[in-house]
Amino acid sequence: MAYTGLILAVLTIILSVVCYFKILYEWHRKVRIQTVRPARLQKVAVRAATPQQSTTELMTFPQAPGPVPWPILGSLAFLGQYDVPFEGFTALAKKYGDLYSITLGSTRCLVVNNLDLIREVLNQNGRYFGGRPDFLRFHKLFGGDRNNSLALCDWSTLQQKRRNLARKHCSPSDASSYYQKMSDVGVMEMHRFMDQLDEVVCPGKDFKVKPLIMQACANMFSQYMCSVRFDYNDQDFMAIVRNFDEIFWEINQGYAVDFLPWLAPFYHKHMSKLTRWSAEIRDFILERIVNEREQTLGDDDTERDFADALLKSLRLDPSVTRDTIMYMLEDFLGGHSAIGNLVMLALGYIAKHPEVGHRIQREIDRITERGKRNVTLYDTESMPYTVATIFEVLRYSSSPIVPHVATEDTCIAGYGVTKGTVVFINNYELNTSERYWTEPKRFNPSRFIETATLAQIRTDLRDSPTAKQDLTNIIKTNGVSSENERTLQIERVRKNIPHFLPFSIGKRTCIGQNLVRGFSFIIIANILQKYDIHSNDLSQIKMYPACVAVPPDTYPLAFTQRSTMAA
Residue 549 has pLDDT above 80, yes or no: yes
CA 370 – CA 384 distance, rounded (Å): 18
Alpha-carbon span 549 to 200, nearest angstrom: 24
pLDDT for res 458: 74
CA 481 to chain centre: 41
Q: What is the DSSP string of 15-39?
A: HHHHHHHHHHHHHHPPEEEEEEEPP
pLDDT in tens, 378-415: 999 999 999 999 999 999 998 888 999 999 999 999 99
Q: Is the pLDDT assigned to residue 35 strictly greater than 60? A: no
Report which of 124, 161, 159, 154 is spatially closest to residue 139, judged by C-alpha positions. 154
Q: Which of 493, 553, 499 is nearest to 521 (CA)?
A: 493
- Looking at per-residue confidence, does 298 or 539 come out higher? 539
494-507 pLDDT, tens per residue?
Answer: 988 999 999 999 98
Q: Check residue 24 and give its pLDDT.
A: 52
Helices 210-226, 336-352: crossing angle, 10 deg rounding = 140
pLDDT of residue 244: 98
Give the separation between CA 311 and CA 292, rounded to whole angstroms: 12
What is the arithmetic mean of pLDDT over 448-462?
A: 80
Q: How confident is the model at residue 43 (pLDDT cuts 50, 70, 90)?
A: very low
Q: Residues 272-284: what's their mean pLDDT?
A: 97
Q: Is the pLDDT of residue 6 over 50?
A: yes
Weakest-pLDDT range from 7-21, 328-342, 517-531: 7-21
Q: What is the pLDDT of residue 50?
A: 46
**DSSP characters over 328-353:** HHHHHHTTHHHHHHHHHHHHHHHHH-
Are 488 and 454 in contact by the 8 Å Cβ rule? The answer is yes
Q: What residue spans of 201-321 are helical by DSSP H?
A: 210-226, 235-251, 268-285, 291-296, 306-316
Q: What is the pLDDT of residue 8?
A: 58
Asked whether the predicted pLDDT for residue 448 surpasses 80, the reply is yes
Residue 422: other Cβ atoms inside 10 A: 22
Rounded Cα distance between 247 and 552, Å, is: 10
Residue 122 has pLDDT above 70, yes or no: yes
Average pLDDT, the chain: 88
Amino acid at 227: S
pLDDT average, residue stretch 312-330: 88
3-class DSSP assignment, residue 81: coil
Measured CA to CA, the distance from residue 243 to residue 280 in angstroms comes to 8
CA distances from residue 439 to 47, 145, 447 in whole angstroms, order as listed = 62, 43, 10
Please report the pLDDT score of residue 11 as a whole number.
Answer: 58
On the question of pLDDT at 28 being above 80, the answer is no
pLDDT higher than threshold 60 for residue 17: no
Q: Which residues are annotated as a binding site?
A: 510
Query: Longest Cα pair distance anywhere in the chain, in angstroms?
Result: 97
Tell me the per-residue pLDDT of 163-183, one tens digit each, with 9 for 90 and over. 888 888 888 888 889 999 999
Alpha-carbon torsion, ordered 7, 12, 18, 24, to 10 deg: -150
List C-alpha distances in Å: 311 to 176, 261, 282, 293.
Answer: 22, 37, 16, 9
Measured in whole angstroms, the distance separating CA 174 from the mean position of its chain's CA atoms is 21
Per-residue pLDDT at 74: 94
Predicted confidence band at 47 (pLDDT cuts at 50, 70, 90)? very low
pLDDT of res. 272: 97
Whether 18 has a pLDDT exceeding 60, the answer reads: no
φ, ψ of residue 61 to 5 degrees: the values are -125, 140
Would the pLDDT of 45 be above 50?
Answer: no
Among 18-27, 325-334, 549-558, the minimum mean pLDDT is found in 18-27
Long-range Cβ pairs for the range 291-296 (8 Å, 24+): 292/228, 293/226
Nearest to 246 by CA among 137, 170, 329, 150: 137
DSSP secondary structure letter of residue 447:
G
Tens of pLDDT, residue by residue over 183-197, are 999 999 999 999 999
List residues forming the annotated binding site for heme. Answer: 510
- Ordered by where they begin, the domains of the chain are 158-453+489-561 (1.10.630.10)
Q: Which residue has the higher pLDDT, 122 or 399?
A: 122
pLDDT digits (tens, 9 = 90+) for 123-160: 999 999 999 999 999 999 999 999 999 899 999 988 88
22 pLDDT more than 60: no
Between CA 450 and CA 490 the distance in angstroms is 8
- Percentage of the chain exceeding pLDDT 70: 85
C-alpha to C-alpha distance for 157 and 319, rounded to whole angstroms: 11
Query: What band does 41 get if pLDDT is binned at 50, 70 and 90?
Result: very low
| 3-class secondary structure, 18 | helix
Q: How far is CA 52 from the centre of its chain?
A: 47
Reported residue count of the chain is 567
Sort 37 into a burial class: Cβ within 10 Å, 0-12 / 13-18 / 19+. Answer: exposed
Distance CA 523, CA 188 (A): 11
Alpha-carbon gap, residue 348 to 364, rounded angstroms: 19
Cα 280 from chain centre: 24
3-state secondary structure of 181: helix
Q: What is d(CA 115, CA 401) in angstroms, rounded to the nearest whole number?
A: 14
User: Does pLDDT of 423 surpass 70?
Assistant: yes
**How far apart, in whole angstroms, are the C-alpha atoms of residue 431 and residue 436?**
8
> What angle do the packed helices 157-170 and 322-333 form, to 10 degrees?
50
Cα 236–Cα 240–Cα 246 angle in degrees, nearest 5? 145
Q: Is 542's pLDDT higher than 80?
A: yes
